[in-house]
Amino acid sequence: MEDSLGPDSAPSVPIDKNKVFAIKPLRCLVPIFPSQGGASSSATQQSPFAFVAPTGPFPPGAAQFFPFVAPSESHRQGGSAPNPPNNEKPYAIPSPVPLNSFRTPAPAPAPPPADNGAKLTTRRSSKNITPYDDGYTQSDGYENGFTIDTEDSSDAIKRKRKIRKTVKGAQAVAVSSSEVDIDPLVNHLLKSFQLLDIDTMLQADSNHELVQRVVLVYNLLRRKITQLDDAKGVIPGISRRADLRAGTILMNKGARVNTKRRVGSVPGVDIGDVFFFRMELCLVGLHAPIMAGIDYLSFKVSGDEEPIAVSIVSSGGYEDEEDDGEVIIYSGQGGVQRSDKLLMDQKLERGNLALEKSLHRGNEVRVVRGLKDVASATGKVYVYDGLYKIHESWIEKGKSGCNVFKYKLIRVSGQPEGFLLWKSIQQWRDGVTTRVGVILPDLTSGAENLPICLVNDVDSEKGPAYFTYSPSLKYAKPYGSSKSLSCRCSNGCQPATTCPCVEKNNGYLPYSSGGILLSHNLIVHECGPSCLCPPSCRNRVSQTGLKLRLEVFKTKNKGWGLRSWDPVRAGAFICEYAGEVITGNAIDSDDNYVFDAGRVFEPLELVPTDEPVKIPFPLVVSAKNKGNVGRFMNHSCSPNVYWQPIMRENEEESYLHIGLYAIKHIAPLQELTFDYGIPRGEKKGLVKKKCLCESSKCRGFFY
């Protein structure tokens, strides 16, 4: 300020020292604005302080103000205030306003999600991101808002600043236009899965079926948003994250479960359940904060609020230690000044204080372990490991030389295996221990790029009936078709281009850059033999072999089945249903390994027209004598795998294949199943078989 006072300046009037020493925080001082015509509303008072009025310029929407009463000359020096509308008090403010509130007006924030009805309160910030925002806004790590899941918050700040650069031209149009028609899509999904009006009581205390529906819709929406962004040419790093955006939309639509905050187990969430996004933990009520590792509640004890921890996420962001899978040495949060990476001692506050209080109260704490996702270079998979209790706490010097709080958590006995199962599988991979019941280490004899072991730890049967292993479908004669265009994408097909393979898929690429199927119920047109794109093209996912470590195992009452050592992400390609294409009446009545694409299958996503997907050719596959691991996948009326028709074209020839994809996230060693479908009309030789899937939706039979 040009007219600021010098160090030797003195007030021109006597000072009442009693007033000087009546010190109050600045936020308690009520700014007094000039009245209409530039006269002070209390001009008769004398100011005991020397001051200079601000001269501007002022941001739009903000008027000059004076912390103390000044003579009218000083008011006029800063310029007269605009005349207020009739019958209104000039510049009236209802309460004291901090100085930092006078800034350029920003868009009004979105209202926070509706109260979930819990009587307990959470000590968290009320900041939220505007609906449809993808969350590139960082929090302080403790708020229950929509924030990026990151462990190094200072790095996140840098990424945030980089992402928020202004984008001009066509890119900016693409970003904004990706939101077009998203609301009808959301409403359609919610209606299809009966999530528009969830019963209040059921939403507060949910069940497994409802939890699974919410997570399924979340992943369908997340993948669809990813596909829409791809089609609009949104550049990675500028596009907003689809996982946070989808979660924000569902939260604002009320499509969430277990809204009643609680200590202990969460209804509908089982030990060993896997999640690939922190937003999923929030939607199912397992762990509320999207970024912070400690979730806690506050109880009123003798009039004071006292926090207790309800859940933690141990994902390697701090110096956590683990031993036999039953004990966690968990590091407290904080200790990093985000703006400049300044390290400091952790403080006994917020989450750290909650853990300390839980130690003395002895309450159970939910533990979610964040593990590296082997299918992703940077991703993680979150495993619910059950309930733990805090047995000890202490302070020690961390690697940075600063004090760090440490908490020893021991798993409550009598719970099913969670993380221990993951440790066992890793030991099988590393050859530290041997898988019990292995009959053959690789039943494919090297035909696949990953071995598939044959396991029986149930009885003495030595294996299934003999068959020839074939990793792909065998056509005696391809289907004829009109000549189709082949792509010339030497670097692989890319979205938002004029690639003919993209055009065949209605302008979208069917897969994400990580090989996840982005939409269902449509024929996937993959690149064919005449296309010039490389084998690594993202539109050849089903042609690149297995990505999961599978095993064929003996079930208790359904013969042989199929499962995976790896966690399977929703939309991931599992395998093809390989075998021999048969035509006419060549189906053997004793053939239990027939796949008929002409059967009626319940669609995963109910299309708006309610019309089933039409298969262009009557494809029937027999895997009795020749096939792959797909032949071992059993039927279920509530499956976790969905089949998808895949078309590959070569000049004037067409080849229809059957791909098997995960409907939802699947934990390791859970059986993989799909719905065998219902035949259209009466067919000779078809016999009803008793269904043993034991699901709540079991029809009692299958064909």
Q: Is 42 domain-assigned?
A: yes
> What pLDDT shows up at residue 655?
93
Residue 516: phi and psi, rounded to 5, are -95, 130
- pLDDT band for 58, please (50, 70, 90 cuts): low
Pairing relationship of beta strands 294-301 and 342-343 according to DSSP bridges: unpaired
- pLDDT band for 643, please (50, 70, 90 cuts): very high
Give one DSSP letter per residue of 258-287, joined into a string: --S--SS--TT--TT-EES-HHHHHHTTS-
Q: Is 625 domain-assigned?
A: yes
- pLDDT band for 544, please (50, 70, 90 cuts): very high
| Domain identity same for 491 and 625 | yes
Give CA–CA dist 650/645, Å, rounded.
Answer: 17
| Domain identity same for 596 and 478 | yes
- pLDDT band for 286, please (50, 70, 90 cuts): very high
- pLDDT band for 302, please (50, 70, 90 cuts): confident
Q: Which helix (H) or strand (E) holds 156?
A: helix 153-163
Q: Is 181 domain-assigned?
A: yes
Comparing 53-62, 176-185, 305-314, 360-369, the range with the smallest average pLDDT is: 53-62
Alpha carbon of residue 135 to chain centroid:
12
Q: Any idea what DSSP says for residue 541? A: G
Q: Is 450 domain-assigned?
A: no
E strands, 556-666, are: 560-564, 573-576, 580-581, 594-596, 620-622, 626-627, 634-635, 641-650, 653-662
Q: For residue 135, is pLDDT > 50?
A: no
My answer on whether omega of the bond before 14 falls inside 30° of 0, hence cis, is no
Q: Evaluate whether 268 touches 211 at the Cβ level (below 8 Å).
A: yes
State whether the Cα torsion 178-281-512-646 is positive or negative: negative
**Closest among 150, 145, 113, 140 to 129, alpha carbons compared:** 145
> What pLDDT shows up at residue 317?
63
| Domain identity same for 157 and 98 | no
Q: Is 128 domain-assigned?
A: no
| Domain identity same for 98 and 214 | no
How many domains are contained in the chain? Answer: 3
| Domain identity same for 265 and 362 | yes
SS3 372: strand
- pLDDT band for 336, please (50, 70, 90 cuts): confident
Question: pLDDT for 581-604, tens place per residue?
Answer: 987 666 777 788 999 998 888 877
Distances (CA, A) of 362 to 118, 127, 328, 350, 572: 22, 31, 16, 18, 41
Q: For residue 165, is pLDDT > 70?
A: no
> What pLDDT shows up at residue 236?
57
Q: For residue 101, is pLDDT > 90?
A: no
> What pLDDT shows up at residue 2?
44
CA 397-400-406 angle, to 5 degrees, is 40
- pLDDT band for 606, please (50, 70, 90 cuts): low
Average pLDDT estimate for 516-522? 84
Q: For residue 47, is pLDDT > 80?
A: no
Q: Evaluate whether 335 touches 150 at the Cβ level (below 8 Å).
A: no
For residue 97, what are the contacts with CB-CB under 8 A and spacing of at least 6?
A: 30, 31
Q: For residue 62, is pLDDT > 60?
A: no
Q: Evaluate whether 640 touches 664 at the Cβ level (below 8 Å).
A: yes
Q: Is 439 domain-assigned?
A: no
Comparing 15-19, 193-197, 211-215, 398-402, the range with the smallest average pLDDT is: 15-19
Considering only residues 57 and 126, tell me which one the structure prediction assigns the higher pLDDT. Answer: 57
In one letter, which amino acid is 275?
F
**Closest among 549, 552, 553, 529 to 540, alpha carbons compared:** 529
| Domain identity same for 319 and 245 | yes
> What pLDDT shows up at residue 134?
32
| Domain identity same for 363 and 506 | no
> What pLDDT shows up at residue 663?
95
Question: pLDDT for 242-269, tens place per residue?
Answer: 999 999 999 999 999 999 999 999 999 9
Per residue, what are the HEC states of 5-72?
Answer: CCCCCCCCCCCCHHHHCCCCCHHHCCCECCCHHHCCCCCCCCCCCCCCCCCCCCCCCCCCCECCCCCH
The pair of three-digit structure tokens given for residue 629, joined into one six-digit string: 């691991």
| Domain identity same for 98 and 159 | no
Q: Evaluate whether 617 touches 480 at the Cβ level (below 8 Å).
A: no
**Closest among 550, 567, 579, 546 to 441, alpha carbons compared:** 550
- Contacts from 48-52 at CB under 8 Å and sequence distance 24+? 48/11, 48/13, 48/14, 48/15, 48/16, 48/19, 48/20, 49/11, 49/15, 50/5, 50/9, 50/10, 50/11, 50/12, 52/1, 52/3, 52/4, 52/5
| Domain identity same for 381 and 513 | no
Give CA–CA dist 91/609, Å, rounded.
Answer: 57
Considering only residues 552 and 87, tell me which one the structure prediction assigns the higher pLDDT. Answer: 552
Considering only residues 540 and 614, tell me which one the structure prediction assigns the higher pLDDT. Answer: 540
For residue 6, what are the domain limits? 1-106
> What pLDDT shows up at residue 315?
83
Share of the chain above pLDDT 90, in %: 54
The pair of three-digit structure tokens given for residue 591, joined into one six-digit string: 């053939």
Average pLDDT estimate for 630-645? 95
Give CA–CA dist 552/628, Å, rounded.
Answer: 11
Give CA–CA dist 289/223, Å, rounded.
Answer: 22
Give CA–CA dist 409/332, Å, rounded.
Answer: 12
Question: pLDDT for 415-454, tens place per residue?
Answer: 999 999 999 999 999 999 999 999 999 999 999 999 999 9
**Closest among 521, 523, 504, 506 to 619, alpha carbons compared:** 523
> What pLDDT shows up at residue 140?
32
Share of the chain above pLDDT 70, in %: 69
| Domain identity same for 598 and 686 | yes
The pair of three-digit structure tokens given for residue 359, joined into one six-digit string: 């130690």
In one letter, which amino acid is 355?
L
The pair of three-digit structure tokens given for residue 617, joined into one six-digit string: 């050719």
- pLDDT band for 478, please (50, 70, 90 cuts): confident
> What pLDDT shows up at residue 174?
33
Give CA–CA dist 179/176, Å, rounded.
Answer: 6
Using the 3D structure, point to which of 380, 405, 426 is the last residue of a domain. Answer: 426
Q: Is 132 domain-assigned?
A: no
Question: CATH number, domain at 643?
Answer: 2.170.270.10
| Domain identity same for 81 and 191 | no
Q: Is 163 domain-assigned?
A: yes
Considering only residues 102 and 425, tell me which one the structure prediction assigns the higher pLDDT. Answer: 425
| Domain identity same for 536 and 411 | no
Q: Which helix (H) or strand (E) holds 297?
A: strand 294-301
Average pLDDT estimate for 182-211? 93
Average pLDDT of the chain? 78
Alpha carbon of residue 18 to chain centroid:
58
Considering only residues 676 and 237, tell me which one the structure prediction assigns the higher pLDDT. Answer: 676
Question: CATH number, domain at 322?
Answer: 2.30.280.10
pTM for the model: 0.75
